[in-house]
Chains A and B, each alone.
Chain A
Amino acid sequence: MKKNIILEKIYYSFNNEAPIINNLSFEFPSGQTIAILGHSGCGKSTLLQMISGILKPISGNITIDNNKDLLGNISYMQQNDLLFPWLTVKENVLLPLKILGDKSQSSYDDVIEKSKILGINEYIDFYPNELSGGLKQRAAFLRTIIQRSEFILLDEPFASLDAITRMELYIWLEQLKKYIKKSIILVTHDIDEAIFLSDKVIIMGSGKNNFRFQKDISMPHPRSSNINMSSEFLEIRKDLYCRLEEVR
């Protein structure tokens, strides 16, 4: 059964100041990749933290399949890789399974299989300080997708990487979506990233009416690196850029 994430009139402000999220209601459907695009400080990461269960909204409800218990039910990858430096890549990646007490061979084999798709199987016994930024992000991504939750939250996961590595990871992610079949909510301030990876882009602003604009991206998956030169891509980018300017 498909599980949707439902936001009902959620409200949040820091230190009782002007609300950053104000009365926001929305339903994130399963099976899609939705990108939330917005300027720095508009509340994108705060929203993801609330959906993950780390932050509680001051008022309103967030549920997944009518369940208010979000911690442990939604995977969340933050901007930094957050790999434990004292563990190998394999130990880091297996951390969610260890927490659940899953020591089965089939789960382990599944991790190894996915590590091949992500191209990090050769580095599985390395420590994080022996890896490049791109490899670290792939390891962190693998750790996120092996969790059993249906939804994955990605908070600017590629922001610290150079353009070439970022494009490589977009392509890996596009390939991987076929296998993992999970719903993704991606927060970013990069228009190209949002268009390349998502089925729908939401433009977000702070304060009242947070979700200002939504656009469906109908280009077929898996997308390749030359798609961002297509006229359709450029047209969407121009449109989203104008919408972002309006939100500023």
Chain B
Amino acid sequence: MTEQMSYTASELLAVMSGRLLEDGQTVFAGVGIPLLAVTLAQRLHGPGLTILFEGGTLGPFVVAGELPPSTNEQRCTRRANMLLSITDVLLLLQRGYVDVGFMGGAQIDRYGNLNSSFIGDPKNPAIRLPGTGGGNDISSLTQMIVSMKHEKRRFVDKVDFITSPGFLGGGSTRADSGLVSGGMYRVVTDLAILNFDDETREMKVFALHPGVTAEQVHDNTGFDIRIDDDVETTEPPTKAELDVLRHLDPEQLYIA
């Protein structure tokens, strides 16, 4: 019998995202939940996963309890296979060496476009956000997994500003704009796993997390989102997964 575990929303995000990664993939990871999820996957089912960090690290092994404050400090480089310049590590995306890009999001829309630049009118914003970093490069050039909290203000019909492109206006608009590869693969939230229709490129629900109802997803999404009647339910986080996460982040920098 499976033991019922209690877990935080961030732990759920990290576990569900980590499960989407496959052994052998090369994953370009941001800091926070992406870093935790990829490290979790590496420890449990993907010893052959290769992590890339934007600061210029290829193939590191993050040390438990010493999580880096960004992807650009020496803590990112532990047991790495190679250190290279920022420009060269990002060029691996353009050259086609990266299977999955993995990052968090502030605001996302029905076509998977991400905004991390401005809340409100970009010319006169209510909030100036920190910006793209490598987010635009990653989402322009490879297949993406995004992990974020599921809130109405974050899941909007149209983002105020497209920092990191998803499927732009849907249909073939992404490819038409010159972004011929990559695109949104999955969005992982604390309520569900979302994917995108092959034709329209609109976001839909791929699976609900345990105990989550379709109504909850509708109530927390700022646009009409498709949920099929026979939608799958995910398996709850296991003790083994939560143990690894809590060992990695004992100070609860990211899993609180």
Are A and B co-members of a single complex?
no
Could you list which residues of chain A lie within 8 angstroms of chain B, going by C-beta atoms? none
